[in-house]
């Protein structure tokens, strides 16, 4: 079976296996069942590069108390998101090259998801525990360890096969569940009202729901499982997941900006 046929409910508009990088790049100019997957995260790259530039010039000069720590928090987040989108876009462009290239870039695509999850927890806990750096380090290191162990597991080619697709999604949801631990910790310590500002709590919850929704839709192959062939070009589960990831990252950024203001505004900041 063609290595591209990972979803039995997508029945048409596959690109021919080309063994040619030029042919893969040429496919950017015509419509096929990876077009939306490619351009959705290509759009995400442009969007977050723009936001990274804008926020660097705007936020980090807003308060005299902002420092290299803020640059680190935002820098890690933007780097993680953009890296994820670059790896994803490249995978979808090159997936028709050959089975070897497909599996190589599919693994890198999965690693990109782990990277953005580390970046999400790192940046959220930086502001959630702005005056309690011990807990920021604990949760950031913990997420890095969890993601690294998951990455090692994914190096097994059999784990990336279609029959393990639901387990893959469950792994991602489980990693997302780890992110709820520091959020719950902060809410119990200071109360919902304070952490809404202190770490952009409600925005992070909404962002997490976007990620979980995308993973669930992807695992269940909704909606194409209901009408095989109808969503080959537009509306397939993988495309929906891409949109959910972009929305989740955008909402998370909104929460980060709110948390940045809270922790630097003289009227609300808790420590120098």
pLDDT value of position 30: 97
The yes-or-no verdict on residue 71 having pLDDT over 60 is: yes
Could you read off the pLDDT of 181-199 as tens digits, one per residue? Answer: 999 999 999 998 899 989 8
Please state the φ and ψ torsions of residue 10, each to the nearest 5 degrees. -100, 110
Q: Is 264 annotated as a binding residue?
A: no
Percent of the chain clearing pLDDT 90 (strictly above):
69
The yes-or-no verdict on residue 15 having pLDDT over 70 is: yes
The tally of CA atoms less than 13 A away on the side-chain side of residue 2 is 16
Assess contact for 73 and 67: CB atoms under 8 A: no
pLDDT value of position 172: 72
Distance CA 181, CA 164 (A): 27
How distant is the alpha carbon of residue 138 from its chain centre? 21
The closest alpha carbon to 12, from 2, 22, 21, belongs to 2
pTM for the structure as a whole: 0.93
What CATH number should be reported for the domain whose range is 21-264?
1.20.1070
DSSP string, 178-238: HHHHHHHHHHHHH-HHHHHHHS-HHHHHHHHHHHHHHHHHHHHTTTTTTSTTTTSSSS-HH
The tally of CA atoms less than 13 A away on the side-chain side of residue 19 is 0
Which residues neighbour 158 within 8 Å (Cβ) at sequence distance 6 or greater? 164
Q: Is 242 annotated as a binding residue?
A: yes
Range in 14-23, 24-33, 158-167, 260-269 the model is least confident about: 158-167
The yes-or-no verdict on residue 162 having pLDDT over 70 is: no
Mean pLDDT within 45-54: 96
Percent composition of the chain: helix, strand, coil (DSSP 3-state, to 5): 75, 0, 25
Give residue 28's pLDDT band: very low, low, confident or very high (50, 70, 90): very high
Assess contact for 216 and 268: CB atoms under 8 A: no
Q: Is 238 annotated as a binding residue?
A: yes
pLDDT value of position 163: 62
């Amino acid at each position: 079976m063609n290595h591209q046929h990972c979803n039995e409910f997508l029945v048409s508009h596959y690109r021919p296996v080309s063994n040619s990088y030029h042919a893969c790049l040429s496919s950017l100019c015509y419509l096929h069942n990876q077009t939306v997957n490619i351009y959705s995260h290509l759009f995400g790259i442009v969007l977050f590069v723009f936001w990274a530039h804008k926020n660097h010039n705007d936020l980090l000069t807003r308060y005299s108390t902002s420092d290299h720590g803020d640059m680190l928090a935002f820098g890690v987040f933007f780097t993680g998101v953009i890296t994820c989108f670059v790896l994803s876009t490249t995978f979808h462009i090159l997936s028709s090259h050959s089975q070897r290239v497909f599996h190589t870039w599919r693994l890198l695509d999965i690693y990109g998801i782990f990277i953005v999850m580390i970046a999400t927890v790192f940046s959220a806990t930086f502001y959630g525990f702005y005056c309690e750096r011990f807990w920021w380090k604990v949760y950031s290191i913990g997420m890095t360890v969890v993601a690294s162990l998951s990455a090692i597991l994914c190096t097994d080619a059999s784990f990336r096969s279609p029959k393990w697709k639901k387990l893959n999604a469950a792994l991602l949801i489980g990693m997302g569940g780890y992110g709820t631990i520091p959020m719950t910790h902060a809410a119990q310590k200071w109360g919902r009202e304070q952490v809404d500002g202190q770490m952009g709590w409600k925005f992070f919850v909404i962002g997490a729901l976007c990620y979980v929704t995308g993973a669930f839709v992807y695992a269940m192959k909704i909606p194409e499982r209901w009408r095989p062939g109808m969503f080959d070009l537009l509306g397939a589960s993988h495309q929906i997941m891409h949109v959910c990831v972009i929305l989740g990252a955008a909402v998370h950024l909104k929460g980060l900006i709110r948390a940045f203001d809270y922790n630097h505004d003289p009227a609300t900041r808790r420590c120098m």
